[in-house]
Structures are given as structure tokens and as C-alpha cells.
Amino acid sequence: MAALVDTAREVARHLLETPLPRRWSHVQAVAAKADRISAAVPAEDREVLVASAWLHDVGYSPDLVDTGFHSLDGGRWLCRQRFNTRIAALVAHHSCAWLEAEERGLGEVLAAEFPREETAVTDALCCSDMTTGPDGQDFEVLERLAEIRSRYGPEHLVTRFISRAEPEMVAAVRRTQRLLADSVRQPI
């Protein structure tokens, strides 16, 4: 299974490091955080979590932009590459992407193409992404959401999406933090 993480990292590096170095910094930090908080998910899911973190933003790569909605584009590309289907679905739906899909008129398309799991893995992936800034810096989730709003501006579709998604994103982060605290109290 470690091979899965290694493959995911190299795929992401190939797609992001040169064309999108800032995005690559973010992705490296998100993957490192997913690894650090992986005790919040069952042992058998940890490599899926970290591999998904490496791949969650590949849809921004100019090599594979299709609809312009990075979560869907990344998930579709991973499917075309016959990558692990659970990871493709986690990427397609990461960080409340279904709400952004609705804003873009792609809600039904996303739901039809990819099953959405709702587990500690989806929470931990959202937590890793939503507590890591665009340069890889650590953020509290509410700071991160404010940073996204200020980067895109009040009228932007992404800002509307973030406003709708905020309660679920914050809840996912808090659930992950609680599981992590529990895992410290009960060594596994």
C-alpha cells in the first residue's frame, strides 16, 4: 500500500510542480498534514487518505483542465488513468465539492459520475485541505475560509460556495480534531 502513496505523490509532482509551483507547495503541505493526522481514520484507510491528499488538486494542472471545475476534472482524469476508484471519487468530492458543483451547474454530473462517501476519511481530507494555506502555511479553518474569500472577492462563485460550505467544513475539521484527541487518549 505504501506504493499507492508513492505513486500518488509522483503523479501529483509531474502534474503540478513545474506549471503550478505555488499549488504544489500547498499540496505537499496538505499531504504532510494528512499523514500527521492519519490517526483520525481507521488504520486500513490511512494510505488512501494520504494518497488522496497528494492528488486532491491535480485538476488544476493545465495538462488536464476540462470543465474548469478542478475537483471533477481531477477525478475524471484519475478514472481515465485507471487509478484507484475510491481515490478518484474522494478527489472528485473533496472539501465539499458537491456544493461548488451546484454553484457551477454541475451538481448532477458530479453525483452521477462519482459516489460520495461520508466517512472519517472525507473529514480528514477536508481538514487537511482547509487548515493549509495556498503556500502551505498552517491555518485555523476559519482563517483559511476568510483567506479564500479575500483571495476570490465577494462576487466570485468560489466565495458563494465557501459561504454555503462553511458549516460542513468546520464540522468536518472539528470531527477530525475530536477523533485525533481520542486516538491520543486511546493508543491504537
Evaluate whether 66 touches 73 at the Cβ level (below 8 Å).
yes
What residues from 28 to 67 belong to the interface with Fe ion (CB under 5 A)? 57
Q: Which three cell numbers stand for residue 181?
A: 484527541
Q: Is 103 in the site for Fe ion (CB under 5 A)?
A: no
Specify the residue, 28 or 38, whose C-beta has the smaller distance to Fe ion. Answer: 28
Specify the residue, 23 or 46, whose C-beta has the smaller distance to Fe ion. Answer: 23
Specify the residue, 158 or 183, whose C-beta has the smaller distance to Fe ion. Answer: 158
Residues sharing a CB contact under 8 Å with residue 51, sequence separation 6 or more, in sequence order: 4, 5, 7, 8, 84, 87
Q: Is 129 in the site for Fe ion (CB under 5 A)?
A: yes
- CB 158 to Fe ion: min, Å: 12
Specify the residue, 22 or 116, whose C-beta has the smaller distance to Fe ion. Answer: 22
Give me the residue whose beta carbon is nearest to Fe ion: 129
- Phi-psi region at 61: left, alpha or beta (left = phi > 0; alpha = psi -120 to 50): beta
Q: How many CA atoms lie within 13 Å of 29's alpha carbon, on the beta-carbon side?
A: 18
Residues binding Fe ion: what is the number (CB under 5 A)?
Answer: 2
List residues near Fe ion by CB under 5 A.
57, 129
